[in-house]
Structure 1
Amino acid sequence: MPHDFDLLVIGDANPDVVLGPLTTALAFGQREQLVDTGRLTLGGSAAIMACGAARLGLRTAFAGRIGDDDAGRYVRGALDARGVDTTALRLDPDLPTPLTAVLNRRDDRAILTAAGTLAATCADDVPQALLAGCRHVHAASYFLLPKLADALPDLLRTARAAGATTSLDTNDDPSGRWAPPGFDELLAVTDILLPNAAEALALAGPGDRTPAEAAAVLAARGPLVVVKNGADGALAHDGHTLVATAGTPAEPLDTVGAGDSFDAGFVSALLAGLPLGQALDLAAACGALSTRAHGGTAAQPTWTEALAAATRNGENT
């Protein structure tokens, strides 16, 4: 039976104000500090991933919630312009659209987010017809969306019952707790878990581990675990076997959203039928190529660009 969409992405969407690089410590006391670059761009892990997948050629739909304000109109317009279906992007009449400020400093960044509609986003924002009408469901920013997080096990279970595969990128936990009730239930219905190295170590729980060891711990709880490890590439663990890629060399202008572009590449590669090692190579290429411009979506690659970069890297290793 044909599907309406290849991919449904559930989660956060907001404008990002990206500033930097900051070459000194952030100064309070009403001090004015100048930086070289400032951009207003589409943000939110889920939104950036959706745009990356659409750029790679997937028929992509988005489900979430924005405010009835200028920021929300900007978000919807940006998603529409990149080919993402926003029919299920719900308008909240009371709460504002989330807003994030990203302050870049050399190879690191600080992220400040005003949650707005994130706290109200819930299961009712995800149409059942979309869950049943797509090949894959991806959820992002688990810790920023508490009501949606509670509903995710049932939502992903419904998608899987309809034949879809599922993935999750938790992103950072602002509370620092990393062990929410029901998380094991969620992992049991998650086919692919996509943390970065720091997130994998935190999600695996107490202990002194390498990223590969953390991936093994998490894979024992159900999903294929794919860990993004920056300049060191990426690795995947299915509970039995470890696969790794050295990644694609890059001289980044801006790493905002690179992990979300990686997610888009990995899901797209698996849906295209690529084996795990090649999927890792292509995902790493998507993440690296996305850093060629400021903001999370401006330099996301096409399938042809990503495949060429992944192939070149494979030939050089």
Structure 2
Amino acid sequence: MDVLVVGDANPDLVLRGDVRPRFGQAEQLLTGADLVLGGSAAITAAGCARLGLDTALLTALGPDIFGTITRQRLAERDVRLLLAPTAPEVPTGLSVILTPDDDDRAILTLPGTIPALRPHDVTDDHLAATRHLHVAALYLQPGLAAGLAEVFTRARAAGVTTSLDTNWDPTGRWESITDILAVTDIFLPNANELRAVTGASDVDTAAAGLVATGTTVVMKNGAAGARAWTSDGDFSAPGRQVAVVDTTGAGDSFNAGFLAGMLSGLPLRDALHWAATAGSLSTRAAGGTAAQPTRADLGG
């Protein structure tokens, strides 16, 4: 494998239009609805595969219709699926994404099997078979998070590079992950996540503290593109102007673009351009995977 992605996989039900609920049994009319592949890890894996990386996803799914849909969508995108054991009565996770006719959105998630992964599910055999290990949606998976520093330490000993995208913490507690970041090669937050994880209000200050411990910070910066901080300095890359349909999963496609560039041997500055472009292009269609770019789209 070029990359082993570890984390969440589930369907996303993306609803568009008049989606702000009005209780009292009021019926509202939508302008669109799509049932698509969701989960930060799954979308990242699909993006990596589309960019030509030999990609596997280690996740947990239930024996239900949502699990079947997720399996089918991953197979369609040439992602090799590695399943951790789960109790048969636990349902596959599900996210409902409410997208009104403006730039905002809300996400409602049923965790289901999403928190089922444990550190021991990432075996030494898995690490021996891959070049890179990427973990996503950390705050949805406290069991995995509890031992992820040890997993990344084993990966480093095996010569495997690592990356982490925590995504948002729905509890709002933002428990410390200092031990994990100390053995993480690439940290891939957005600006708000970078501030929350570090406790610093300024992104430059936040990134500098992580770089000092040996972690490269690659930050999604919305419509402005991307920024990166390394021991050699900081860089930026613009996003690409597109007609935005849905921003769901744009950060995960960003991750895929960066990992594809890095694992192809590009300099960090060029990998950052791939990331910013991949994130931008993914917003051209509903859901996180329908408009993910190819290498030709990125100029590679």
CA contact (8 A) 1:256 1:291 kept: yes
CA contact (8 A) 2:5 2:133 kept: yes
The separation in 2 between residues aligned to 1:307 and 1:33, in whole angstroms, is: 43
Structure 2 counterpart of 1:159: 155
Partner SS, residue 49 of structure 2:
helix
Deviation at 1:214, TM superposition (A): 2.6
> 80, 84, 87: which one pairs with 1:85?
80
Alignment of 1:69 with 2:61, yes or no, is: no
Structure 1 counterpart of 2:272: 280
CA contact (8 A) 2:8 2:59 kept: yes
Amino acid at match of 2:211: A
Structure 1 counterpart of 2:137: 141
CA contact (8 A) 1:184 1:221 kept: no
Deviation at 1:221, TM superposition (A): 3.5
Alignment of 1:246 with 2:238, yes or no, is: yes
> 96, 107, 130: which one pairs with 1:101?
96
CA contact (8 A) 1:194 1:226 kept: yes
Deviation at 1:119, TM superposition (A): 2.6
CA contact (8 A) 2:15 2:34 kept: yes
CA contact (8 A) 1:269 1:282 kept: yes
Structure-to-structure mapping, 1:231-310, within 5 angstroms:
231-307=223-299
Partner SS, residue 116 of structure 1:
coil
The separation in 1 between residues aligned to 2:293 and 2:84, in whole angstroms, is: 24
Structure 2 counterpart of 1:216: 208
- TM-score, normalised to structure 1, is 0.90
Partner SS, residue 167 of structure 1:
strand
Alignment of 1:27 with 2:22, yes or no, is: yes
CA contact (8 A) 1:65 1:92 kept: no
Structure 2 counterpart of 1:204: 198
Q: Gapped runs of 5+ residues in structure 1?
A: 309-317
Partner SS, residue 145 of structure 2:
helix
- TM-score, normalised to structure 2, is 0.95
Moved more, 276-285 or 82-91: 82-91
Structure-to-structure mapping, 1:221-232, within 5 angstroms:
221-232=213-224
Alignment of 1:110 with 2:103, yes or no, is: no
Structure 2 counterpart of 1:15: 11
Partner SS, residue 155 of structure 1:
helix
The separation in 1 between residues aligned to 2:197 and 2:211, in whole angstroms, is: 11
What is the identity percentage for the equivalent residue pairs of Structure 1 and Structure 2?
50
Deviation at 1:271, TM superposition (A): 0.6
CA contact (8 A) 2:84 2:117 kept: no
Deviations 1:34-56 (Å, cap 9, x if unpaired)?
A: 12110000100000000000000
Amino acid at match of 1:208: S
Deviation at 1:239, TM superposition (A): 4.2
The separation in 1 between residues aligned to 2:24 and 2:189, in whole angstroms, is: 36
The separation in 2 between residues aligned to 1:59 and 1:89, in whole angstroms, is: 20
* Count of equivalent residues: 299
CA contact (8 A) 1:121 1:145 kept: yes
Structure 1 counterpart of 2:128: 132
Structure 2 counterpart of 1:313: none
Structure 2 counterpart of 1:59: 54
CA contact (8 A) 1:64 1:126 kept: no
The separation in 1 between residues aligned to 2:84 and 2:289, in whole angstroms, is: 19
Deviation at 1:89, TM superposition (A): 5.2
Deviation at 1:247, TM superposition (A): 1.9
The separation in 2 between residues aligned to 1:88 and 1:102, in whole angstroms, is: 25
Partner SS, residue 82 of structure 2:
strand
Cα RMSD after superposing both structures: 1.5
CA contact (8 A) 2:10 2:67 kept: yes
CA contact (8 A) 2:17 2:29 kept: no
The separation in 2 between residues aligned to 1:120 and 1:90, in whole angstroms, is: 8
Alignment of 1:173 with 2:169, yes or no, is: yes
